[in-house]
Amino acid sequence: MLFGTGLAALAVTGDADADTAQAPQAMPPQAGDLLVQATGPQAGQPIGLPLFKTPNTLIQAWAKDPTSGVVRNGSRLNRVLLVKIDTAAMDDATRKRSAEGVVAYSDFCTHAGCWIETYHADNGVILCHCHGSAFDPTHGANVTGGPARAPLASLSLKIVDSHLVAAGPFDGRLGIPQT
Ligand code: FES
């Protein structure tokens, strides 16, 4: 995996206007994109609520243009993480972005760019294994511990035909903050 100073240059916004010149596979998730599994034996398959039945489930996903079939895996910044949490614990903004209790955030740690793989449901924390940064999925993935200084960018969700779909672009800055 890539870490460290080289990734500092990767910080970009989720602003769709900034993405118009990018190749489709390098563009961040767009409204209407289907989310598909990024890893494991079901890689490439759409994601439905039954996949979250096991406690501590964190699903890593890519966005897929449902029309062209292009999977937007051309940038490490584009990977999405999904967890299912109690809607009663969410703040209003997080609840508005969620779908049936599922919330989506950038999977790219804002500390040094590791992909995040762990969710601890018992203490409600998304945890980066690299240096221990912790993010609160109920409150916009705000940092609650470790060296990260910025929350993970949020992605609004909706459910279409029983599968999770992006309802808009990332809200917030992707990558490692420069200051
Ligand atoms: S990359 Fe350092 S805590 Fe995530």
pLDDT in tens, 26-38: 999 999 999 999 9
133 lines ligand 1 (CB under 6 A): yes
Q: Is 89 exposed, middle or buried (0-12, 13-18, 19+ CB in 10 A)?
A: middle
* Protein residue with its CA nearest to atom 3 in ligand 1: 131
Q: What residue spans define the domains of the chain?
A: 5-10+23-171
Cα 159 to ligand 1 centre (Å): 31
pTM: 0.89
Cα 66 to ligand 1 centre (Å): 32
Q: Give the tens place of pLDDT for each residue, 147-173.
A: 999 999 999 999 999 999 999 999 998
Asked whether the predicted pLDDT for residue 75 surpasses 90, the reply is yes
Q: How confident is the model at residue 5 (pLDDT cuts 50, 70, 90)?
A: very low
Class of domain 5-10+23-171: mainly beta
Across the range 81-100, mean pLDDT stands at 97
Return the pLDDT at 27.
96
Cα 124 to ligand 1 centre (Å): 18
